[in-house]
């Protein structure tokens, strides 16, 4: 066996580990910043080692290919990876980064790497020259740069890059200002201009509006709407990404909603999965080539900690091995998975959870019940399954900084600007939760008889405009109008309640006789999204129930379901605005069991 070379570099930094982690553990960003070439993943390699990914790149004209074990990491303290090479000057490489809080503040970062050459002499010289001299300088420089950015309160978007505007790109950007920067979108536009002028190519490959809104301390909806306007104006390109439920990376990326299917395949995880609108379809943006030129999407690392932020702990355990893991967790619901065991073990993390706990992983499966862990626990794991295991601790909740297809398609701005965006005919995609609002104009037939067709139609049209404005102001969208009725969609029940309260107030201020009043039904639940009459529409039991509720109301009343009543945000809003809705029970046409419903007067 050839000699193994070890490198051990230590650096004291001013920032704490949790602030440095988004930079240091973003191995895709780090490899890019230190000059490593882009990698290509080889799928379905018949001779790949079990559980490993086959990757390759070309460096200095030399083709290099290797099998890579899954990364191991514990947020925000350490990560490691092992690579076994098939081509190139190396036989094996191991890398480990560890960040330890210093008593005086800041972090001691220790970066270690082990290299075993495959080519006599040439491999030795490559290791000493490239790793021992050049890489040491570039690696430590990158870590210091990240520390300085964190100290300035910056993010990955503050890593400078050479802006390559296309001819006329700046002029196109300036001419789009009026279309994008209306009202509170002015602040979003100014920050978007800054990104396009200063951020590097890697940061601009995948712009996530909610993430940027949080970074800029601007409203999420305003930021998303500004990005949609920028896409319509030709400043940005909109992409629909299908997220794998296991790695939660993008299994597919499409330029049109019509290319999205209700099932997909993740080549990296080699699994098929069903697609739903409110988890697994995320809307992202990138600069339009007519404004700023970007190279094709490229990767410098696959499946590192940066790509799986939902997993704070990933560890490999050999047969009979015991490991002790000290982690830093957010309060919430989690689950523990093992590569060789079915199912999962639920975990509840809270301030009063166990600070130290031992878990034996046995071949018969997971123990009953759930683990209760503190936010900074020490977890001792014992692998007694008889086989090596990859252990993963995952957050149960999906990331809330993703602008999903459910969010985007429920916006009136999207439906107005992208009216042609729809699913393929016959395609049906599930959505786990959506709030639907149906209205019916009271005594509309009598209105036409009393004041004549033309005046009545004008008043009905006016009532539609008021409803649409109130619905859009709360982040909802009108799906369709049916006669003198409206069907609207919202992501949250409280938004629908606010919208209809404001719409009723606006209707009550309308001049003319007779006065206008609406009957309203609200329900929330799962349904399917389809294309009907070339527009996105919703179908299923939730839709059927919501459509029947206005028939149980009088003019100026809302009838809403128990699902609306039990929503925490809706409960808080109702207590402050309508503390005494009236409960009643009745049958709904088409359903055998009576429904618990509530009625309130606007």
382 lies in the same domain as 422? no
- Do residues 127 and 220 share a domain? no
As a whole number of angstroms, the distance between CA 188 and CA 218 comes to: 8
Q: Note whether 468 and 565 are same-domain residues.
A: yes
* CA–CA separation, 173 and 235 (whole Å): 6
Query: What are the pLDDT digits (tens) for 297-347?
Result: 678 998 899 889 899 999 999 999 999 999 999 999 999 999 889 999 999
Looking at residue 484, its pLDDT comes to 87
The 10 Å Cβ neighbour count of residue 434 is 25
Boundary-marking domain end, from 264, 284, 306: 306
Longest CA span, the chain? 99
Query: Using an 8 Å Cβ cutoff, are 435 and 520 in contact?
Result: no
Task: Supply angle C-alpha 358, 362, 368, rounded to 5.
Answer: 70
Size of the chain in residues: 602
Q: Structural domain tally of the chain?
A: 4
| 531-571 pLDDT tens trace | 998 899 999 999 999 999 999 998 889 999 999 999 999 99
Least confident of 93-102, 143-152, 196-205: 196-205
448 and 590 assigned to the same domain:
yes
Instruction: Let me know: does 471 contact 318? Beta carbons within 8 Å.
Output: no
* pLDDT at residue 452 is higher than 90: no
* Whether pLDDT at 134 is above 80: no
Q: Is residue 515 part of a domain?
A: yes
Domain of 460: which CATH number? 3.30.70.1230
Q: Does 400 fall in a domain?
A: no
- Asked if 407 and 224 count as a contact pair (C-beta separation under 8 A), the reply is yes
Residue 248 falls in which region: left (phi positive, over 0), alpha (psi -120 to 50) or beta: left
Do 115 and 178 sit in the same domain of this protein?
no
147 and 164 together in one domain: no
Residue 405 resides in a domain: no
Confidence of residue 5 (pLDDT cuts 50, 70, 90): confident
**pTM: predicted TM-score of the whole model, two decimal places:** 0.91
What's the average model confidence in pLDDT over 14-30? Answer: 96
- Tell whether 534 is covered by a domain: yes
Measured CA to CA, the distance from residue 32 to residue 68 in angstroms comes to 18
Q: Which residue has the higher pLDDT, 288 or 183?
A: 288
Give the whole-number percent of the chain exceeding pLDDT 70.
95
Same domain, 520 and 378: no
Last residue of a domain, which of 395, 423, 447?
A: 395
Do 134 and 239 sit in the same domain of this protein? no
Per-residue confidence (pLDDT) for residue 121, from 0 to 100: 64
Q: Give me the mean pLDDT over the 471-479 stretch.
A: 96
99 and 14 share one domain = yes
- Residue 133 and residue 44 share a domain: yes
**Token pair recorded at residue 121:** 């002499």
Q: How confident is the model over 192-202, as a mean pLDDT?
A: 91
pLDDT for res 104? 92
Distance between CA 275 and CA 431 in Å, rounded?
Answer: 9
Residue 247 lies in a domain: yes
In a domain, 401, yes or no: no
Residue ranges making up the domain that contains 18: 5-154
Considering the chain, what is the average pLDDT of its residues?
Answer: 91
Please report, for the domain that includes residue 117, its CATH number. 3.30.530.20
Burial 221-237 (b: 16+ CB within 10 A, else e): bbbbbbbbbbbbbbbbb
pLDDT in tens, 81-93: 999 999 988 899 9
Of 227-236, 400-409, 414-423, 447-456, give the lowest mean pLDDT range: 447-456
pLDDT tens per residue across span 114-123: 988 887 765 5
Query: Quick one: 318 and 387 in the same domain?
Result: yes
Check: CB of residue 503 under 8 Å from CB of residue 478. no
Return the exposure string of 362-382: e unless at least 16 CB atoms fall within 10 Å of the residue's CB, then b: eeeebeeeebebbbebebebe
Domain's final residue, options 371, 395, 419: 395
Q: In angstroms, rounded to a whole number, what is the distance separating the alpha carbons of residues 529 and 527?
A: 7
Same structural domain, 445 and 318: no
Judge whether residue 124 has pLDDT over 70: no
Residue 402 placed within a domain: no
Contact between 250 and 241 (Cβ < 8 Å): yes
Residue 404 lies in a domain: no
Contact yes or no for 306/25 (Cβ under 8 A):
yes
In tens, the pLDDT along 513-534 reads 667 788 999 999 999 999 998 8
């Amino acid at each position: 066996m050839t000699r193994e070379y070890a490198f051990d570099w230590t650096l004291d930094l001013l920032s704490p580990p949790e602030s440095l982690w988004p930079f240091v553990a973003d191995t895709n960003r780090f490899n890019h910043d230190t000059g490593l070439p882009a990698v290509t993943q080889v799928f379905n390699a018949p001779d790949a080692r079990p559980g490993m990914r086959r990757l390759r790149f070309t460096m200095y004209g030399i083709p290099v290919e290797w099998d890579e074990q899954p990364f191991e990491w514990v947020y925000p303290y350490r990560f490691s990876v092992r690579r076994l090479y098939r081509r190139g000057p190396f036989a094996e490489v191991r890398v480990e980064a560890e960040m330890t809080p210093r008593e005086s503040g800041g972090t001691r970062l220790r970066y270690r790497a082990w290299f075993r050459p495959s080519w006599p002499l040439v491999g030795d010289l490559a290791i000493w020259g490239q790793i021992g001299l050049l890489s040491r300088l570039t690696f430590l420089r990158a870590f210091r740069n990240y520390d300085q950015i964190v100290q300035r309160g910056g993010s990955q978007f503050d890593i400078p890059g050479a802006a390559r505007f296309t001819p006329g790109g700046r002029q196109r950007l300036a001419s789009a200002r009026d279309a994008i920067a209306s009202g509170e979108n002015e602040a979003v536009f100014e920050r978007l201009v800054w990104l396009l002028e200063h951020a590097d190519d890697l940061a601009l490959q995948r712009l996530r509006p909610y993430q940027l809104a949080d970074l800029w301390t601007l409203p999420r909806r305003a930021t998303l709407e500004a990005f949609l306007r920028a896409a319509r104006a030709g400043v940005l390109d909109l992409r629909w990404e299908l997220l794998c439920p296991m790695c939660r990376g993008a299994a597919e990326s499409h330029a049109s909603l019509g290319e999205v299917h209700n099932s997909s395949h993740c080549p990296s995880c080699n699994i098929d999965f069903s697609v739903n609108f409110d988890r697994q379809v995320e809307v992202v943006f990138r600069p339009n080539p007519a404004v700023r030129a970007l190279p094709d999407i490229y990767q410098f690392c696959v499946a590192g900690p940066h790509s799986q932020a939902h997993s704070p702990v990933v560890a490999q355990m050999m047969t009979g091995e015991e490991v002790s893991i000290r982690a830093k967790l957010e309060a919430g619901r989690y689950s523990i998975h093992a590569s060789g065991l079915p199912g999962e073990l639920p975990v509840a993390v809270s301030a009063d959870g166990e600070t130290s706990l031992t878990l034996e992983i046995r071949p018969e499966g997971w123990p009953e019940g759930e683990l209760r862990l503190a936010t900074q626990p020490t977890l001792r794991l014992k692998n007694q399954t008889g086989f090596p295991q990859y252990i993963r601790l995952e957050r149960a909740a999906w990331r809330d900084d993703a602008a999903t297809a459910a969010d985007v398609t429920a916006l009136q701005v999207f439906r107005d600007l992208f009216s042609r965006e729809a699913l393929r005919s016959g395609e049906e995609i599930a959505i786990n939760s959506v709030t639907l609002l149906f209205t019916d104009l009271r005594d509309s037939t009598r209105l036409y008889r009393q004041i004549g067709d033309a005046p009545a139609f004008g008043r009905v049209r006016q009532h539609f405009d008021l409803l649409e404005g109130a619905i859009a102001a709360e982040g909802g969208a009108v799906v369709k109008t049916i006669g003198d009725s409206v069907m609207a969609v919202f992501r949250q029940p409280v938004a629908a309640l606010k919208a209809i309260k404001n719409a009723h107030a606006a209707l009550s201020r309308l001049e003319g006789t007779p006065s206008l009043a609406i009957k309203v039904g609200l329900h929330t639940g799962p349904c399917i999204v389809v294309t009907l009459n070339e527009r996105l529409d919703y179908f299923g039991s939730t839709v059927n129930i919501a459509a029947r509720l206005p028939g149980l109301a009088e003019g100026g009343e809302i009838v809403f379901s128990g699902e609306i009543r039990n929503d925490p945000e809706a409960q808080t809003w109702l207590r402050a605005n309508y503390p005494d809705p009236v409960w009643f029970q009745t049958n709904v046409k088409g359903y055998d069991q009576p429904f618990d419903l509530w009625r309130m007067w606007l």
